[in-house]
Amino acid sequence: MILRDVTYRLALVLLLAVFGHEGMLAQEAGDTLKTDTLPILTRRMKALEAPLDTAIVDSVLTKVAKKPGKSQFKPDPIRAMWLALVIPGGGQMYNRKYWKLPIIYGGFLGCTYALTWNNQMLKDYSQAYIDIMDNDPNTKSYENMLPLGYDMTGKEEKFKTIFKNKKDHFRKYRDMSILAFAGVYLISVVDAYVDAELSTFDISRDLSIQLEPAVIDMLGTSPGNRKQKSYGLSCNIRF
């Protein structure tokens, strides 16, 4: 009986010792956690309460703003000009202005058609004028320029003048077609160069001029004079 009581008491003491030790460890861990985290929380609260550095904020925002998905394409004006010189419309393709290609090639096609038409008419009227001016009865190509079945007997001098004027007329427009073709070519080159040169030109809303009334502080001309205020107009130019 006495042995059983002693055994119960020893077991009770051991249980109390174990739980007491665990409680002390938990308390020490909690105190350590509080001791470690308190300075960190204090520093973070002070950082939040401190005034923001606007320079740092602006730099961060600028870096974020300068992170687009793709870099902006900036064409080289010299390269665009040389491509336009070598390949008609090549400068516009390099500048990624594809909508200009139909205009340029449409101009080339129009000038080519006008050049071909006027050159052919010039050849026909030149041969007709040569045939009507000679005395060879076998050369009568001028009759192809007349209406079917038309008799020009006795009107040779009149038609000589008509054929000469027609010949000069189509020569003039043939030459003008060549100049127009060259003009379209030069315009395509100049457009490619200027377009590439002005690709980075700022056309945002910040380009403005603003006039507003202003009060200007002026110093007195003699010592001891107070500052004088002058009213005027201020001009602000943004570019």
* pLDDT tier, 42 (very low <50, low <70, confident <90, very high otherwise): low
The rounded distance, in Å, linking the Cα atoms of 32 and 193 is 72
**Helix-strand-coil percent breakdown of the chain, rounded to 5?**
65, 10, 25
Determine if the pTM surpasses 0.85. Answer: no
The rounded distance, in Å, linking the Cα atoms of 156 and 12 is 149
Which 8-state DSSP code applies to residue 151? -
pLDDT at 239: 57
| Cβ 231 vs Cβ 218: under 8 Å | no
Dump pLDDT digits (tens) for 64-79. 455 555 677 888 999 9
Cβ burial 197-229 (10 Å sphere, 16+ → b, else e): eebeeeeeeeeeeeeeeeeeeeeeeeeeeeeee
Amino acid at 129: Y
Dump pLDDT digits (tens) for 185-217. 999 999 999 999 988 776 666 656 677 787 777
**Contacts of residue 238, Cβ cutoff 8 Å, sequence gap at least 6:** 206, 207, 208, 209, 210
The SS3 assignment for 105 reads helix
